[in-house]
Amino acid sequence: MAQSRIFHLRSGEVELAGEIYTPEESGPHPSICICHGIPATPYSPDSKGYAYLAKRFCLEGFTTLIFNFRGTGKSQGNFDLLGWSYDLQVILDFLIGLDEVDKSHIHLLGFSGGAAVSVYVASQDPRVTSLTACACPAEFSILANKENLQSTIRHFHEIGAIKDKDFPPSAQEWLEGFETISPIKWIDKLSPRQLLLIHGDADEVVPLEHARRLYQKARQPKDLAIISGAGHKLRLDMAAMETALKWIKKQQKGFT
């Protein structure tokens, strides 16, 4: 059985909400921090996809953490990709400070926009030992560009990811956050940490070519897993998540 507890953390002026799942066996345990993607629809409290995934990994012996980036779920604030990188740093500080966590085995598992932020943060934080990036965009030219900037901001207002009427104070600086985070700029700086890119060959949001570009730019050690028939929501794809779990376990001393 996985034991869970809810937590709240401050990231600047924003309060983040999350939940941590701990194996029953005495620790410390290797850990996995799961980073969700950019929302496309309004938040639904009935969505349990990430909680189910966290329980699954916890039962395999990992202290597993899920949380909401600013502007999403139960967390405060407004959606801002560069702000997400600050949030992830706060989450990592919290995770590494837990007694039940083995500090030498900190794994990031990111999805889409959360994978992009994971690349950016992990490339600069040597405490991260491995990264699994699922459906990760190489850059955000389709989502955020000058031509559709206002409609993009309006969309995030409409789904509740941007809550304040006057946010962002500078649309141009908000847009530049996407450019800063772009994984193609950072993926080669992950080495010597382990990297696994997982992508579906039927991804309807981020074309498979993005994964190929990232894999080509990344340095060793690196792996690429292409999941036949899988779309963008890889957290719901059994083959993709089994691939992630087996790969992460291979990074662990003592796992077979």
Q: Could you say which DSSP state residue 135 is in?
A: S
255 part of a folded domain: no
Structure confidence at residue 168 (pLDDT) = 96
65 part of a folded domain: yes
256 part of a folded domain: no
Structure confidence at residue 46 (pLDDT) = 74
Query: Residue 206: which CATH number?
Result: 3.40.50.1820
Structure confidence at residue 91 (pLDDT) = 98
- Whether the per-residue pLDDT at 9 is higher than 60: the answer is yes
Q: What is the mean pLDDT of residues 129-151?
A: 88
Structure confidence at residue 1 (pLDDT) = 66
- Whether the per-residue pLDDT at 254 is higher than 50: the answer is no
- Whether the per-residue pLDDT at 255 is higher than 60: the answer is no
- Mean model confidence pLDDT for the chain: 94
- Whether the per-residue pLDDT at 186 is higher than 70: the answer is yes
Question: What DSSP assignment string belongs to 196-229?
Answer: EEEEETT-SSS-HHHHHHHHHHSPSSEEEEEETT
168 part of a folded domain: yes
Q: pTM value?
A: 0.96
Q: Report the candidate in 32, 31, 36, 2 with the shortest Cα–Cα distance to residue 16.
A: 36
> Which structural domain range is residue 42 located in?
2-250
Structure confidence at residue 253 (pLDDT) = 60
Structural domains in the chain (count): 1
How many angstroms separate the CA atoms of 253 and 105, rounded? Answer: 9
- Whether the per-residue pLDDT at 191 is higher than 90: the answer is yes
pLDDT digits (tens, 9 = 90+) for 211-235: 999 999 999 999 999 999 999 999 9
Structure confidence at residue 256 (pLDDT) = 38
Structure confidence at residue 225 (pLDDT) = 98
How many angstroms separate the CA atoms of 242 and 256, rounded? Answer: 14
191 part of a folded domain: yes
Helix, strand, coil proportions of the chain in percent (round to 5)? 35, 25, 40
pLDDT digits (tens, 9 = 90+) for 73-94: 999 999 999 999 999 999 999 9
How many angstroms separate the CA atoms of 255 and 16, rounded? Answer: 32
- Whether 144 contacts 210, CB under 8 Å: no
39 to 19, 21, 68, 74: CA distances (angstroms) = 19, 23, 11, 13
- Whether the per-residue pLDDT at 32 is higher than 80: the answer is yes
86 part of a folded domain: yes
99 part of a folded domain: yes
148 part of a folded domain: yes
